A and B are shown apart, each in its own frame.
Chain A
Amino acid sequence: MTTTNGNGQSGPKLTLWEKLYFPEILRGMSITIRAFFRPKFTRQYPEERWVPPPVFRGRPVLVMEDETHVERCVACGLCARVCPSLAIEVQAAETELDKERYPERFEINMLRCIFCGFCEEVCPEEAIIMSKDFEITFTDPRDTIFGKDKLLIPASQLRDRLEFLKEYR
């Protein structure tokens, strides 16, 4: 029930008990003292790290087969094409392997990447997927372009996300 409260502003009409101030103040104080003894939500970050669930979209990485150390990518360029922020650049080349094509150069500009996951979604080979890595910092703009050296991650380390994609994509 709302009505004017005497100051020309609308608000709930207070009972006499509430108008006495002190009982209500004590009620408020009992709420804060209970909060005082509740367990805290704070995570002590550098010591206590969070391991994200598989749904998490961290930094995009290239999947590398465990035995052969060859990337799954066939350099089709779909990821570069779909990328809304134009962060991916692929340079294709021929190879003796079955897949015939491989990325000679694969670069993601991490200043441009918006972690949308479109590259992962469009990839026909499950070769580029989103990892759990969210601790991405630079001190030099030249470090922000990640080449194959930083992007290639063995499939065994990415199992969570690969299984997640199999189940839900």
Chain B
Amino acid sequence: MIAIEALIKIVILVLVVLGIVAYLVLLERKVSAYMQDRIGPNRVGPKGLFQPFADILKLVLKEMIVPEKANKFIHALAPVISITVAIGALAVIPFGNYIVVGGQKISLMIANVNVGVLYILAMSSLGVYGITLSGWASNNKYSLLGGLRSSAQMISYELSLGLSLIGVFMINGTLQLDKITMAQSGGLWNIVYQPLGFLVFVTAAFAETNRLPFDLPEAEPELVGGYHTEYSGMRWGLFFLSEYTNMIVSSAVMVSLYFGGWSLPFVNYAHMAPNLAALIQVLTFFVKLGILIFIFMWVRWTLPRFRYDQLMNVGWKIMLPLAILNVLGTGAVLLAIK
């Protein structure tokens, strides 16, 4: 019974997320166009709303070219790793509290594991394998450079990513995302208590998702296409999808940890019918998610790319000390209050 319930939730989540991702691509093109005084895609369907289907159809129909001297197996495996870990990380995100179906409470998260955020960090760390392996297996110097850069970048920023979250765990005393959300639903959001930690986390999240200003693994002017230079068709599409899914995961973690997850301030769900409350909660969550994703895109179309040495400098000499300072500061304040 539990297995069936989980399976249904997984299928719904994957379908919803892939649908969102397809439209995020359109949104990104529209946002970039509007910021550059253009209109963007508006030909396929009304206002260009069917553009994602055209894009996907194109990707599916295109030939998947495999270089002659590539390691065929790993070349095919790498995009699968990327997309799997990207979607897998969504398993512990609470999109709402619970719904009631047939007298039974069904929680709106797939797996309520007690390591919570640690699981997400583990999954996003695995994501580096997809990129590094694709760079190595392509047997192409630019791909290899892109893969190497991505591994160096992810290791440098993972430290501050993890450290910046410790402040939140210290305040809420748990790693489980639903409990952290619950703790915030009554009072103030965590961003009020953890502004510095949030800034460090956002910066590190940009580096983790390989998006501008930290998209060095696929820096077009230097590396042709970076790690996916030798990919085409749907295999390239999988990398593309995983980039956007990673963006959803980072934004969802930010929403849950810093912006109160599915909760709204001054709204008491106890008086509502549970299913109506769940609907409002899910909508709240996705609106918050959308705003954060828009900020991701906004930053991307504002900032130029960092140089590689600048990236390393920022990671090790600024982000890491700031994250440690944040942990120490939070600890000192918590001790003082106690």
- Contacts from A to B (Cβ < 8 Å): 7, 22, 25, 28-29, 31-33, 35-36, 38, 40-42, 44
Q: Determine how close the nearest CB of chain A comes to the CB of B198; give it in whole angstroms.
A: 12
User: A25 near B38 (CB under 8 angstroms)?
Assistant: no
Report the separation of the CA atoms of residues A122 and B282 in the bound assembly, to the nearest whole angstrom.
Answer: 75
User: A42 near B38 (CB under 8 angstroms)?
Assistant: yes
Indicate whether A40 sits within 8 Å of B303 (C-beta atoms), given known contacts A22-B199, A29-B298, A33-B298.
no
User: A32 near B302 (CB under 8 angstroms)?
Assistant: yes
Complex A-B: 13 CB contacts under 8 Å: A7-B310, A28-B302, A28-B303, A32-B298, A32-B301, A32-B302, A35-B36, A36-B34, A40-B37, A40-B38, A40-B39, A41-B37, A44-B39
* Residues in B neighbouring A28, C-beta threshold 8 A: 302-303
Q: Determine how close the nearest CB of chain B comes to the CB of A16; give it in whole angstroms.
A: 14
Report the separation of the CA atoms of residues A35 and B32 in the bound assembly, to the nearest whole angstrom.
Answer: 10
Selected contact of A42 from candidates B31, B39, B301, CB within 8 Å: B39
* Residues in A neighbouring B39, C-beta threshold 8 A: 40, 42, 44
User: A32 near B38 (CB under 8 angstroms)?
Assistant: no
Is residue B60 within 8 Å, beta carbon to beta carbon, of the partner chain? no
Is residue B68 within 8 Å, beta carbon to beta carbon, of the partner chain? no
Known: A25-B299, A28-B302, A35-B34. 9 other contacts (CB 8 A): A7-B309, A29-B302, A31-B302, A32-B298, A35-B35, A36-B31, A36-B35, A40-B38, A41-B38
* Residues in A neighbouring B303, C-beta threshold 8 A: 25, 28
* Residues in A neighbouring B301, C-beta threshold 8 A: 32
Question: In the complex, how many residues of chain B place their beta carbon closer than 8 angstroms to a beta carbon of chain A?
Answer: 15
* Residues in A neighbouring B37, C-beta threshold 8 A: 35, 38, 40-42
Report the separation of the CA atoms of residues A145 and B37 in the bound assembly, to the nearest whole angstrom.
Answer: 40
Selected contact of B299 from candidates A7, A29, A38, A41, CB within 8 Å: A29
How many residue pairs, one in A and one in B, have C-beta atoms under 8 Å apart? 36
- Contacts from B to A (Cβ < 8 Å): 31, 34-39, 199, 298-299, 301-303, 309-310
User: B309 near A25 (CB under 8 angstroms)?
Assistant: no
Report the separation of the CA atoms of residues A38 and B34 in the bound assembly, to the nearest whole angstrom.
Answer: 8
Instruction: Write the chain B residue with the least CB distance to A6.
Output: B313
Q: Determine how close the nearest CB of chain A comes to the CB of B265; give it in whole angstroms.
A: 24
Instruction: Write the chain B residue with the least CB distance to A25.
Output: B303
Report the separation of the CA atoms of residues A25 and B314 in the bound assembly, to the nearest whole angstrom.
Answer: 15
* Residues in B neighbouring A41, C-beta threshold 8 A: 37-38
Q: Determine how close the nearest CB of chain A comes to the CB of B57; give it in whole angstroms.
A: 23
Report the separation of the CA atoms of residues A41 and B36 in the bound assembly, to the nearest whole angstrom.
Answer: 10
Instruction: Write the chain A residue with the least CB distance to B318.
Output: A21
By Cβ-Cβ distance, the 3 closest A-B pairs, closest first, are A42-B39, A32-B302, A28-B302
* Residues in B neighbouring A22, C-beta threshold 8 A: 199
Instruction: Write the chain B residue with the least CB distance to A41.
Output: B37
* Residues in B neighbouring A42, C-beta threshold 8 A: 37-39
Q: Determine how close the nearest CB of chain A comes to the CB of B60; give it in whole angstroms.
A: 29
* Residues in A neighbouring B31, C-beta threshold 8 A: 36
Instruction: Write the chain A residue with the least CB distance to B300.
Output: A32
Report the separation of the CA atoms of residues A33 and B31 in the bound assembly, to the nearest whole angstrom.
Answer: 10
* Residues in A neighbouring B299, C-beta threshold 8 A: 25, 29
* Residues in B neighbouring A29, C-beta threshold 8 A: 298-299, 302
Selected contact of B302 from candidates A25, A38, A44, CB within 8 Å: A25
* Residues in B neighbouring A36, C-beta threshold 8 A: 31, 34-35
Report the separation of the CA atoms of residues A22 and B34 in the bound assembly, to the nearest whole angstrom.
Answer: 23
Report the separation of the CA atoms of residues A165 and B241 in the bound assembly, to the nearest whole angstrom.
Answer: 58
* Residues in A neighbouring B302, C-beta threshold 8 A: 25, 28-29, 31-32
Instruction: Write the chain B residue with the least CB distance to A9.
Output: B307
* Residues in B neighbouring A35, C-beta threshold 8 A: 34-37
* Residues in A neighbouring B35, C-beta threshold 8 A: 32-33, 35-36
Q: Determine how close the nearest CB of chain B comes to the CB of A40; give it in whole angstroms.
A: 5
Instruction: Write the chain B residue with the least CB distance to A38.
Output: B37
Q: Determine how close the nearest CB of chain A comes to the CB of B313; give it in whole angstroms.
A: 9
Report the separation of the CA atoms of residues A31 and B37 in the bound assembly, to the nearest whole angstrom.
Answer: 12
Q: Determine how close the nearest CB of chain B comes to the CB of A143; give it in whole angstroms.
A: 28
Q: Determine how close the nearest CB of chain A comes to the CB of B64; give it in whole angstroms.
A: 33
Report the separation of the CA atoms of residues A118 and B31 in the bound assembly, to the nearest whole angstrom.
Answer: 46
Report the separation of the CA atoms of residues A108 and B166 in the bound assembly, to the nearest whole angstrom.
Answer: 77
Report the separation of the CA atoms of residues A41 and B39 in the bound assembly, to the nearest whole angstrom.
Answer: 8
